[in-house]
Amino acid sequence: MFLATAVSAVLSATLTVPATAAPTDEVEVKTFNLPQGTQLTVDNFDTFQPDPWLTPDEVHRRRYNQYYTIDSRQFSDSAPQQKLAGDIWTECAQRKIDRPGKPWVRDHYAFCIKGEIGFSRKETSVLGKKLVYELTIPYTAVGIGSKNERKVDLNIHLHTDKIKRDDPEGKMPPDPVLDMEIFCKDLFTDGDPAAAKTCTVNNNQPGVPATITRRLSELMSAPSDYAFTFTSDDSQAGWSPTQVQRSGPEKVVASNIGMGFHWSGSTGTPSGINGFQTSARFDSADYLKYGSDPGVGGQGAVFYDVIPSIEYRVGDTEVSEIAQHIWDALNAPDRTVPLNPNKWVPGGSNNEDDTLARLRWNRTVTPWVPWGDEVGRIADNRRKALDVCERNEGAGEPGPGKQCDEFPFARTFQGAAHSDYDPVAPLNWSARWVDGDQNVAAGSRLGRWFGNDRILDWSYDGRLQDDFFVRVPDGS
């Protein structure tokens, strides 16, 4: 096992040369990235292969395997209950991460990955196969996003006190050279680092990785912590027309960031990455700083291999009626109006076709402008829901202090007017009279969460978008 990769060079490879014992002998020297604690053997030597470069489709798949939930009570105006984020290093140390190369993304602002990178030599002869030597170096890496800058910090710790070197026959190079390459490139460049003009590492030129080359003796004597910074300039200088168009009003950049490891004794054709990679999204959504919590700015960076959820609780008296309405819509749609015997309200499961997406931009004009409160899709969502409430056909009783609540939220694509704008089945939504103060409180929490978690109205080619779920754990 060892650390190995290079964005433009071999990250893992096999060298086959004649051995001296017999004409049929083979020698293979490979770089590996393994889950911590994995024992490399002759039998699994060929099992661990380099990961392909991250693609939008792979990010899409990863997102539907990682989720997190934010309690809306932390955005309460009357009695905020702030949930501490916790120390990501401590959480990472306590968490089992058994997917080599795929970080655990805790939320939009933190990820961690653990593994063992090294190299090994396998010899094959008429007498059989054997591992001749092996070097492994455990590592932990943590990424931190930002609520107010187009910046991601990456910190890597090499556990040099736990290096394992097994060389009973003395065939390992006495002081091998280990290369580490830290990269940041546009997610839509299909692995071509030269095409990445939207992201930089440590103020290098866009698309140029940061590299560290150390002999083993230097690694063991040097500091074991390394820090890197990924940034994305929103000036759009050097961006292609496609990149500019894809970025939208928020100048969004979806990037592949990570680190690869390479041992100089492994040669061959580049075939992927031995290391880790994840997606990061940079934005300049200036409007998020208004109505959000202190610390939220007009720029930011989040990790994208995860889908967030916001949680409302029936037991929370500030929003109890809204929480029950959401629960009914998701779990007992027959209790809701408009009536629809086949009603299926999106937003509650982990299914790919069940997410909600924020609605902000009117894309029918160029440049895009925000939908207004009186005219447009958001207003149509509210108007259609209000029409059902006012007809009073099972929507509860109107009265002083009541407001018409709708789910999915009016500020989502899946609101009441969804079928008027997109080719989807109608009436898969709910409207109900609720306490007006609770309705305002729930909407305020949603807006503040949009800002704090940097939920945008952005998507590209239908493959990536800022989708989310809504949870109500205590409804009935």
pLDDT of residue 262: 86
Decide: residue 280, CB within 10 A, 0-12 exposed, 13-18 middle, 19+ buried: buried
Of 48, 6, 30, the closest CA to residue 260 belongs to: 6
pLDDT of residue 21: 46
**CA-to-CA dists, residue 307 to 29, 86, 351, 469, angstroms:** 39, 19, 11, 8
pLDDT of residue 271: 61
307-311 and 67-71 beta bridge pairing: parallel
Using the 8-state DSSP alphabet, how is residue 265 labeled? T
pLDDT, tens digit, 9 for 90 and up, residues 4-51? 333 333 333 333 444 444 443 688 888 888 888 888 899 998 888 888
Of 2, 44, 11, the closest CA to residue 165 belongs to: 2
**CA-to-CA dists, residue 162 to 135, 136, 144, 214, angstroms:** 11, 9, 25, 17
pLDDT of residue 161: 92
Distance CA 283, CA 194 (A): 22
Question: Residues near 405 by Cβ (< 8 Å), separated by ≥ 6?
Answer: 321, 322, 325, 385, 431, 432, 433, 434, 439, 442
Using the 8-state DSSP alphabet, how is residue 451 labeled? H
* pLDDT grade for 476, boundaries at 50, 70 and 90: confident
pLDDT of residue 192: 52
Of 380, 373, 377, 382, the closest CA to residue 359 belongs to: 377
H or E, element range at 382: helix 377-391
pLDDT of residue 421: 96
Within its chain, how far is the Cα of 418 from the centroid?
27
Which residue do the tokens 């380099």 mark?
A: 50
> Of 17-26, 57-66, 389-398, 449-458, which gets the smallest average pLDDT?
17-26
Distance CA 264, CA 46 (A): 19
Q: To 5 degrees, how large is the angle CA 374–CA 378–CA 381?
A: 105
Of 416, 412, 369, 408, the closest CA to residue 388 belongs to: 416
Mean of the pLDDT values across residues 85-110?
Answer: 89
In the chain, % of residues over pLDDT 70: 89
Distance CA 207, CA 8 (A): 11
Decide if pLDDT at 265 tops 80: no
Decide if pLDDT at 84 tops 50: yes
- Please give the model's pTM, rounded to 2 decimal places: 0.90
Q: Comparing 81 with 470, which gets the higher pLDDT?
A: 470
> Of 99-103, 160-164, 256-260, 305-309, which gets the smallest average pLDDT?
99-103
In the chain, % of residues over pLDDT 90: 61
Q: Comparing 472 with 241, which gets the higher pLDDT?
A: 472
User: What dihedral angle (degrees, nearest 10) is formed by the CA atoms of 358, 361, 362, 364?
Assistant: -100
Distance CA 385, CA 402 (A): 14
pLDDT, tens digit, 9 for 90 and up, residues 189-242? 644 554 567 899 998 888 789 999 999 999 888 788 999 999 999 998 888 888
Decide if pLDDT at 140 tops 80: yes
- Which phi and psi (to 5°) does residue 189 adopt? -100, 5
pLDDT, tens digit, 9 for 90 and up, residues 407-428? 999 999 999 999 999 999 999 9
Of 145, 188, 154, the closest CA to residue 59 belongs to: 188
* Residue type (1 letter), 412: T
Mean of the pLDDT values across residues 347-369?
Answer: 90
pLDDT of residue 82: 54
Question: Residues near 303 by Cβ (< 8 Å), separated by ≥ 6?
Answer: 105, 107, 108, 109, 110, 111, 143, 145, 152, 278, 279, 280, 281
The overall average pLDDT reported for the chain is 87
H or E, element range at 370: strand 369-370
pLDDT of residue 293: 83
Contact between 261 and 272 under an 8 Å Cβ cutoff? The reply is no
pLDDT, tens digit, 9 for 90 and up, residues 309-332? 999 999 999 999 999 999 999 999
Q: Which DSSP string corresponds to 398-438? A: --TTEEEEEES-TTBTTSTTHHHHSSS-S--SEEEEEEHHH
pLDDT of residue 81: 54
pLDDT of residue 227: 96
pLDDT of residue 17: 40
